[in-house]
Amino acid sequence: MCGIVGYVGNRNVTDVLMQGLKSLEYRGYDSAGVAVRCDKNIKVIKSVGKIANLEEKLQGFNDKSTIGIGHTRWATHGEVNEVNCHPHSVNNVVLVHNGIIENYRELKRELELVGYSFLTDTDSEIIAALIDSYKGNKCDALVYAQMKMKGSYALVIMFDDEANTLYAMRKDSPLIVGIGENENFVASDISVILPYTKKYVDIEEGEVVKITKSEVLVYSENGLVDKKIKTALWSIEDAQKGGYEHFMLKEMNEEKDLCVKLYNKFIEDGNYSDDIPDISSYNDIDIVACGSAFYAATVGKYLIDTYVCDRSVRVNVDVASEYRYKKHFYGDKSLVIVVSQSGETADTLACLRMANSLNVDTLAIVNVPSSTIAKEAKLVMPMLAGPEIAVATTKGYFSQVLELSLIAQKLGYIKGTISKEEKKLLIETFENLKSYLIPLFEIDYSTIASKLWFKEHIYFIGRGIDYIVGLEASLKLKEISYIHSDVYQAGELKHGPIALIDNDTPVISIITNDEIKEKSLSNAIEAQSRGASLYLLASENVDTDNLKIDEIIRVPRISEFYQPLLNIIPFQFIAYEVAKLKGCDVDKPKNLAKSVTVE
């Protein structure tokens, strides 16, 4: 959840580190720091808060250093202050760390017994002492630390007595080495290296990497490893704002072309292509994910349950943090699908590993191609969304829903619950999806936002798939605008939640499901009768004549396989506009981090 950058070469290192930290800030923004070699020793500079604060502190620091490390922190151990901020140094060792060392208290006791004392509340300072305590070759010291540590780590290390070298290693936390011309980089995220190089090597668990400006040496227990140099598929433009005020706005706008990209990848000559996994041989499918990815998974389950339901397949969805601690009885026709934008979410990864270790087939719907989940899943369906930088996912969720919809469609077609004609219509709708989306991007959402931004509570209601979209709509609003928001199945309102409705409490009713639209509308009116101000997201055929509605957004009515993709767009925009009106940091909401690599 923190971000790491390291550099060795000929450039001014603080420039490279600051540029890297800025592009990593979305991963954690409690505090940040750098360590750079100045002549004979290493200088550490830290600052609490945004990267801009560190940048200010670095002004006037015009050392000509060309080697250093940087870190942006999302606190896990110890409060947010300069002492706990990385880099941490103990005697000869200076390091930055992402992850959590689970046995750090035990290690701390052992190290205290041999004379170490500690300044910080972090687990990371313990690692520096652990490495320092090993007397001998530096690579051996790192292997010693690997053997002693339990937990997750991505580490970049400098030694005071070795001027031109960085060391790196990782376990369950991402880290790559960017390969340049007479310069090299280490980073927790590929976007850091893109302004300089597209070439990189993955670091595997158990490896120790020694990096100078002219070479990258990777050691495993079998000696020197011949690493394959890979080429990043994303460009630097993909990872920049491209003229938009916020990454979130840019990423929402990318949804229009993303559906075309996914169409080109997954539809071939009017048919579902082989790139859409065929899951028809499984009768027991678990879809596991966290946050928005879990809500996308819930759409997937709904579509399979509703349209493929022939009793031959059971689909279960669960949040990964729960799933990993439950008992599972897998059979030889079980499949575990994990859904993750980052491909590094700790709980989701743990579920994937659990399923892999039990020899259950696994499929990952994942966006970051170099991520651990992408590497470890038996089968991968790439999300093709490009870098998603805003903490609140938009295009990521969009792609996840669309891909799960395609898996469900193909499954239904193979099983015969979706006919040839229905398949043809579904594919035609997919081809035209962009044209259904465009009008939703042209609506001015500022009026509705101006009525909502000062509210303390906002409730969403819906039935069926409309309720499921409400889950994501509500999460979007609360995570970036900090307004308390909840979602209820519309029919459940009168069984309790309606007690929350006061005069002017905003209730946003989602009604696009034809079969139950009258019932949903009645539920909305029930809320209104208790004083709620009523907002509607409704398909064109929902008759609202003679009703007093505060604001209504009309969406085209299309197949439920795509309807959630239309319905979510207005809510992404409303959350965005509300957050802006409240003066919130849209791309980096408080307390959150983009990729949750701790449990």
Query: For the chain, how many residues are written?
Result: 599
What is the amino acid identity at position 273?
S
Q: How far is the CB of 400 from ligand M6R (least distance, A)?
A: 8
Nearest-angstrom CA–CA distance, 326 and 346: 16
In this structure, what DSSP letter does residue 355 have? H
Contact 596, 290 (CB under 8 A): yes
Task: Look at residues 588, 532, 540 and name the one whose alpha carbon lies nearest to residue 566.
Answer: 540
Read off the tokens for 117. Answer: 């004392």
Q: How far is the CB of 211 from ligand M6R (least distance, A)?
A: 28
Which residues form the interface with ligand M6R (CB under 6 A)? 290-293, 340-342, 345, 348, 391-393, 475, 479, 592, 595-596
Q: How far is the CB of 336 from ligand M6R (least distance, A)?
A: 15
Nearer to ligand M6R, 25 or 479 (CB): 479
Nearest-angstrom CA–CA distance, 437 and 469: 16
Half-sphere exposure of 203 toward its Cβ, with a 13 Å CA cutoff?
34
Return the percent helix, strand and coil in the chain, to nearest 5: 40, 25, 40
Nearer to ligand M6R, 123 or 479 (CB): 479
Q: How far is the CB of 117 from ligand M6R (least distance, A)?
A: 37
Q: How far is the CB of 218 from ligand M6R (least distance, A)?
A: 27
Nearer to ligand M6R, 313 or 346 (CB): 346
Cis amide prior to 87 (ω within 30 degrees): yes
Would you tell me how many other CB atoms lie within 10 Å of the CB of residue 53?
Answer: 14
> Which residues are catalytic, by number?
2, 594
Contact 408, 308 (CB under 8 A): yes
Nearest-angstrom CA–CA distance, 259 and 342: 19
Q: How far is the CB of 470 from ligand M6R (least distance, A)?
A: 15
Q: How far is the CB of 391 from ligand M6R (least distance, A)?
A: 5
Number of H helices, E strands in the chain: 18, 27
Residue of this chain nearest to ligand M6R (CB atom): 291
Residues 6+ positions from 339 with CB-CB distance below 8 Å: 287, 288, 289, 293, 294, 296, 297, 300, 348, 364, 365, 366, 400, 404
Question: Which strands form 284-289's sheet, in the order they lie side by side?
Answer: 314-319, 284-289, 334-340, 361-366, 379-382
Only one residue has tokens 């931004």, namely: 453
3-state per-residue secondary structure call for 28-80: CCCEEEEEEEECCEEEEEEEECCHHHHHHHHCCCCCCCCEEEEEEECCCCCCC
Nearer to ligand M6R, 183 or 587 (CB): 587
- Strands 533-539 and 551-555 turn out to be parallel
Nearer to ligand M6R, 174 or 291 (CB): 291
**Measured CA distances, 422 to 191, 418, 427, 548 (Å):** 41, 6, 9, 38
Facing residues of 71 across strands? 4, 33
Nearer to ligand M6R, 293 or 354 (CB): 293
Q: How far is the CB of 395 from ligand M6R (least distance, A)?
A: 11
Nearer to ligand M6R, 146 or 292 (CB): 292
Interior/surface letters 532-558, b for 16+ CB within 10 angstroms, e for the rest: bbbbbbbbeebeeeeeeebbebbbebb
Q: How far is the CB of 295 from ligand M6R (least distance, A)?
A: 8
Nearest-angstrom CA–CA distance, 224 and 267: 44
Nearest-angstrom CA–CA distance, 503 and 524: 14
Nearer to ligand M6R, 290 or 407 (CB): 290
Nearer to ligand M6R, 342 or 539 (CB): 342
In this structure, what DSSP letter does residue 212 have? -
